[in-house]
């Protein structure tokens, strides 16, 4: 996948288009949606349940961005009621591992982070 144009891509440069991609894949909801879709296909309402706390608006918006960038595939089945299914694309599947790593990191380091936070708070308060 590393073609000629990729050699000049550097997310540390302000104008670099990879910044926009990084914004999406690092995004709060994208991480969770990719994780929720990791086990396979899911309907809109299923995602709404699996990713607790996401609003319909943000789910629609994030799924649209992900579809636009080729991370998920949206399939509409003309049933009653209408069925809209989302699946990770080939590219999207390559993201599951890196993003799951972030999830794992958050869980594994939670207690350490929490300890650091309370220590920090007491340091600035005292």
Partner DNA sequence: AGTGCCTACTTACCAACAGTAACCAACTCT
Partner DNA sequence: AGAGTTGGTTACTGTTGGTAAGTAGGCACT
- Residue 29 sits in the site that holds DNA (CB under 7 A): yes
Query: With CB cut-offs between 5 and 8 Å by kind, which of DNA, a second copy, none does residue 95 bind?
Result: a second copy
DSSP state string for 61-122: HHHHHHHHTTSEEEEEE--SS-EEEEEE-HHHHHHHHHHHHHHHHHHHTHHHHHHHHHHHHH
Stretch that binds a second copy, among 7-15, 37-45, 80-88 (CB under 8 A): 7-15
Q: Which residue is associated with the tokens 């709404």?
A: 48
- Residue 60 sits in the site that holds a second copy (CB under 8 A): no
Tell me the β-bridge partners of 73. 87
Contact pick of 39, 41, 56, 70 for a second copy (by CB under 8 A): 70
Query: With CB cut-offs between 5 and 8 Å by kind, which of DNA, a second copy, none does residue 39 bind?
Result: none
Q: Which residue is associated with the tokens 């997310």?
A: 11
Preceding amide of 82 cis, omega within 30: no
Tell me the β-bridge partners of 83. 77
Judged by the rule CB under 7 A, the positions of this chain that interact with DNA are: 27-29, 43-45, 53-58, 60-61, 63, 74, 80-85
Q: Which residues bind a second copy (CB under 8 A)?
A: 1-3, 5-6, 9, 11-15, 17-19, 21-23, 25-28, 31-32, 35-36, 50-53, 67-70, 91, 94-95, 97-98, 101-103, 105-117, 120-121
């Amino acid at each position: 996948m590393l073609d000629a144009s990729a050699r000049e891509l550097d997310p540390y440069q302000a104008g670099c288009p990879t910044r926009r991609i990084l914004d999406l894949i690092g995004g709060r909801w994208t991480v969770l949606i990719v994780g929720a879709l990791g086990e396979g296909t899911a309907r809109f309402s299923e995602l709404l349940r699996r990713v607790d706390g996401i609003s319909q608006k943000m789910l629609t918006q994030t799924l649209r961005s992900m579809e636009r960038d080729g991370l998920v595939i949206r399939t509409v089945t003309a049933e009653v009621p209408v069925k809209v299914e989302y699946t990770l694309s080939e590219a999207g599947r390559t993201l599951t591992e890196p993003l799951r790593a972030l999830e794992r990191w958050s869980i594994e380091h939670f207690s350490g982070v929490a300890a650091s936070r309370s220590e920090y708070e007491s340091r600035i308060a005292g």
